[in-house]
Amino acid sequence: MVSEYVGTVISTASSPSPANVDFVVTKGIVHRGQFVEIEHAEGTMLALITNVIKTNKYFERADSVKEFEARGNAIFEQFPTAEWEYIVANTRPLGIFTASGVKRPSTPPSPGTKVRLASTELLRKFYRFDDNGLHLGKVEFHDLDVKLNLTRLLKKHLAVLSISGAGKSYAVSCLIEELLDRKKEHGRIACVVFDPHGEYSSFAEPAKRGYADYSDKTLLVKGNNIRIGVPNLSIRVLASIIPGISLAQRRELSRILGELKKEMRNGSGPFDLARLKQAITEDSDIKSNTKGALLAWLSELESLKLFSKLDLPSIRDLVMPGRLAIIDLSDIIDIKKKQIIVSYIAQKMFSERRRQNIAPFLLIIEEAHQFIPEHASEEQAISREILRTIAREGRKFGASLCLISQRPVQLDTTTLSQCNTKIILRITNPYDLDHVAKSAEAIDKRSLDMITSLQVGEALIIGEAVGYPLFFRVRQRRSMPSKHEITLEEAALQYEESMRKRDEETEALL
Ligand SMILES: Nc1ncnc2c1ncn2[C@@H]1O[C@H](COP(=O)(O)OP(=O)(O)OP(=O)(O)O)[C@@H](O)[C@H]1O
Ligand SMILES: [Mg+2]
C-alpha cells in the first residue's frame, strides 16, 4: 500500500544530509515522533520526525512586526500573512531499505524528493517485530502493535527504568500477561517475580468481571512463609550470607556441614540450624574463639526465622513453564532477610537451570537497586554477586533478568550494562538520565531530551529487542490492577468503612 504524501525535501545549509533531512509539509499535519519514508537512490529511506517548526516570513523581522503593531494596524489585516505560513519538519534518517537489506544511511536523498508517512509494513520490518512476539503497546501515530521477539527482548536481559509512578510495574504486568498467555508451541518460559511492595499479588486473585484471570497460573508466596533448607546450603552460599566470616571459620563450618550431610545420606534425615549449632558445640577440634564466632553467626541467622530442614516452596514448584510465581516480600522489613531470600532463590534457580532441571526463566526484580546496589559493602549487598553472575552468564543457559528501578544511579553499573534492552519511561533527575545514557550507547541527545517529557505509560525502548530506539505507548493491561493503583479517595473510603465495621463489632460485643 502506498501511503500519503505529506511533503517535499527542502535544501538548507544542514539538510539533506545522511544525518538530517528537513522537509516542508505540503499536506495535512505531521507530528514529532512520527515516521516518514523518502525515496532514495539506494532504496527507501525511513526517517523519524524529531521536530516540527512553523515559519512565516512576515513575522521574521522583529522590528517591522513591532512597528506595524504599534501603529495599531494588525499585520494580518494588511497582508495575506496566513498564506505565508508554512511548516518545516526536521527528521533523522534511521535506515535505508535496499534490495540486500537495511543499511545505515551514508548519503542523503535529493532535495525535492517527495516524503510520505511510513507504512506500517516498513516500520514492522525495520524494528523486526514478531507476529508471535510479546505485545507490549502501540507505536504512536501509526496503527502498529509493538510485538517484540521473546529471545531478542529477554535473552540478554531487560531493564525497566523511570521515576516513581511513571508506569514501570504496569508495563511489566503487561509483559507478564504476554508470557502467561503464550502458546506452548511458541515456547513458554517460567516467570518469577521478587515483589518487595506486593504490587503483583492481584495476579493470584480470581479476576473480577472485565479482567483476564491469571490466578490458576499464578503461585503467590508470602515472604514470611519462605524457608531455606539448611542441607541445601553449600558452604559458598552459606558464606555469602555470613559476609564477615573468616577463612578459618569457613573451613570449620565447611567440615561440619560436610559431616552432617554425610550423616543425612546415611539415613539420619535432614537437619536444621539448631542441629548445625549442636554439632559445632559438640565438636572438640574447633578452637574456642572460632566456635564462639560461628555460633554467634548462626544464632543471628536463626533469629531471621528463615531456615529449616527443607526448602519451602521447592524451586521446581516456583519455576514452571508458562506460569508465574510471585515472591511477595512486603511482609518482611529486614532488608538483610530480603536479600538472603533473593540471593538463595536466585542461586538455586541459576544452578538448577544450568543442569537443565528447570525451565528457562525470566527473573523479575522490582526495586532492583535494593538487591544489586552500586555502592554498598559486601555485607549490605548479599544478593549482588549472584545477580551479577546471572547478568553475565545467564544468556547461555536461558536464565534472564528483568531489573526494575526508580533509582538507576543506585543500581550496579556492571549489571545494568549487561541489560541489552532497556525500557525507559519518564525520568527527570539529571543524574539518573546521565547514568542511563552511559549504560546505553544507542541513545542520543534528542532521545534523552524526550525522556524528560514522557507522560505516564509512554516509553522509549532501546537495545537488542528493537535495534533502533523506539518511542511507544504501553498497552492497557488485561489483568486486574494492583491494589496500589486505587485512588486516594478510594483508600480513604476503604479505611473509614473498615473503622465503621470495627466500631459496630465492638458495640455488638458490649
Ligand atoms: N500504560 C498505562 N496505561 C494506563 N495507566 C497507567 C499506565 N502505566 C501506568 N499507569 C498508571 O499510573 C500509575 C503508576 O504506575 P506504576 O505503579 O506502574 O508506576 P511505577 O513506575 O511502577 O511506580 P513505582 O516506582 O512507584 O513503583 C498507576 O496508577 C497506573 O494505573
Ligand atoms: Mg512499581
DSSP-derived secondary structure for 215-255: GGGEEEEEGGG-BEEGGG--HHHHHHHSTT--HHHHHHHHH
**Strands 43-56, 35-40: pairing kind:** antiparallel
- What is the residue range of 491's domain? 486-510
Does the residue 281 lie in any domain? yes
Q: Using CB atoms within 10 A of its CB, is residue 342 exposed (0-12), middle (13-18) or buried (19+)?
A: buried
pLDDT in tens, 86-105: 999 999 999 999 989 899 99
Res 376: pLDDT = 81
Res 125: pLDDT = 93
- Tell me, yes or no, whether 255 and 216 share the same domain: no
Ligand nearest to the CA of 478: 1
Question: For 3-12, 72-81, 211-220, 489-498, which range has the lowest pLDDT when averaged over its residues?
Answer: 72-81
pLDDT reading at 173 higher than 80: yes
In whole angstroms, give the CA distance from residue 313 to residue 316.
8
- Tell me, yes or no, whether 473 and 505 share the same domain: no
Residue 234 has a CB neighbour count (10 Å cut-off) of 13
pLDDT band per the 50, 70, 90 thresholds, residue 290 = very high
Instruction: Please state the rounded mean pLDDT for residues 244-263.
Output: 92
Segment 319-322 long-range contacts (CB within 8 Å, at least 24 positions apart): 319/190, 319/192, 319/349, 319/352, 319/353, 319/358, 319/359, 319/361, 320/190, 320/359, 321/184, 321/188, 321/189, 321/190, 321/359, 322/179, 322/180, 322/182, 322/184, 322/188, 322/189, 322/190, 322/217
- Tell me, yes or no, whether 49 and 82 share the same domain: yes
| Ligand 1 center to 172 CA (angstroms) | 10
Res 87: pLDDT = 94
pLDDT in tens, 362-389: 999 999 999 999 988 877 888 999 999 9
Ligand 1 pocket residues where CB is under 6 Å: 162, 164-170, 406, 456-457, 474, 476, 481, 485
- Tell me, yes or no, whether 172 and 253 share the same domain: no
- Tell me, yes or no, whether 422 and 457 share the same domain: yes
- Tell me, yes or no, whether 345 and 388 share the same domain: yes
Res 1: pLDDT = 54
Question: For 20-24, 73-77, 326-330, which range has the lowest pLDDT when averaged over its residues?
Answer: 73-77
Does the residue 390 lie in any domain? yes
| Ligand 1 center to 225 CA (angstroms) | 28
pLDDT band per the 50, 70, 90 thresholds, residue 442 = low
- Tell me, yes or no, whether 19 and 107 share the same domain: yes
pLDDT in tens, 471-498: 999 999 999 988 777 788 988 998 899 9
Instruction: Please state the rounded mean pLDDT for residues 140-147.
Output: 94
Atom 23, ligand 1: residue with shortest CA distance: 165
Contact 174, 136 (CB under 8 A): yes
Does the residue 157 lie in any domain? yes
- Tell me, yes or no, whether 381 and 367 share the same domain: yes
Nearest partner of 163 among 427, 461, 422, judged by Cα: 427
Contact 319, 325 (CB under 8 A): yes
pLDDT reading at 73 higher than 70: no
CA 212 to chain centre: 22
Contact 372, 403 (CB under 8 A): yes
Sign of CA dihedral 108, 111, 112, 117: positive
Instruction: Please state the rounded mean pLDDT for residues 27-46.
Output: 94
Ligand 1 atom nearest the C-alpha of 164 is 25
pLDDT, mean over the chain: 92
Res 499: pLDDT = 93
pLDDT reading at 193 higher than 90: yes
Judge if the upstream peptide bond of residue 313 is cis by omega within 30 degrees of 0: yes
- Helix, strand and coil percent figures for the chain, each rounded to 5: 40, 25, 35
Secondary structure (3-state) at 259:
helix
Phi-psi domain of 463 (left: phi exceeds 0; alpha: psi -120 through 50; beta: other): left
Secondary structure (3-state) at 38:
strand
- Look-up of cell digits 537437619: 271
Beta-bridge partner residues of 474: 137
- Tell me, yes or no, whether 347 and 466 share the same domain: yes
**How far, CA to CA in Å, does 122 sit from each of 29, 46, 47, 110, 475?**
21, 8, 11, 21, 21
Last residue of a domain, one of 307, 332, 362: 307
Ligand nearest to the CA of 175: 1
CATH of the domain at 189: 3.40.50.300
Atom 12, ligand 1: residue with shortest CA distance: 167
**Of 23 and 451, which is predicted with more confidence?**
23
Res 2: pLDDT = 59
Atom 1, ligand 1: residue with shortest CA distance: 457
Task: Take residue 415 and report the three cell numbers written for it.
Answer: 549489571
- Tell me, yes or no, whether 301 and 396 share the same domain: no
Does the residue 357 lie in any domain? yes
- Tell me, yes or no, whether 277 and 370 share the same domain: no
- Select, from the ranges 72-81, 263-272, 361-370, 483-492, the one with the highest average predicted confidence (pLDDT): 361-370
Percent of the chain with pLDDT over 90: 74
Task: Take residue 508 and report the three cell numbers written for it.
Answer: 455488638
Question: Which of 136, 169, 411, 490 has most ligand 1 atoms within 8 Å of CB, for mutation?
Answer: 169
Number of structural domains the chain divides into: 4
Ligand 1 atom nearest the C-alpha of 173 is 18
Does the residue 140 lie in any domain? no
pLDDT band per the 50, 70, 90 thresholds, residue 469 = confident
| Ligand 1 center to 327 CA (angstroms) | 20
Ligand nearest to the CA of 481: 1
- Tell me, yes or no, whether 29 and 120 share the same domain: yes
Last residue of a domain, one of 307, 324, 348: 307
Atom 11, ligand 1: residue with shortest CA distance: 167
Does the residue 455 lie in any domain? yes
pLDDT reading at 325 higher than 90: yes
Does the residue 395 lie in any domain? yes
Res 75: pLDDT = 65
For the entire predicted model, the pTM comes to 0.89
Res 76: pLDDT = 65
Largest distance between two CA atoms of the chain: 107
Last residue of a domain, one of 256, 291, 307: 307
Which segments within 43-163 are labelled E, that is strand? 43-56, 85-98, 101-103, 114-117, 134-139, 144-148, 158-161
| Ligand 1 center to 202 CA (angstroms) | 15
| Ligand 2 center to 33 CA (angstroms) | 26
Res 276: pLDDT = 94
| Ligand 1 center to 260 CA (angstroms) | 49
Beta-bridge partner residues of 411: 373
Instruction: Please state the rounded mean pLDDT for residues 55-73.
Output: 80
Rounded to 10 deg, the angle between the 288-302 and 247-263 helix axes is: 70
Does the residue 139 lie in any domain? no
Ligand 1 atom nearest the C-alpha of 170 is 18
Q: Using CB atoms within 10 A of its CB, is residue 99 exposed (0-12), middle (13-18) or buried (19+)?
A: exposed
Contact 238, 249 (CB under 8 A): no
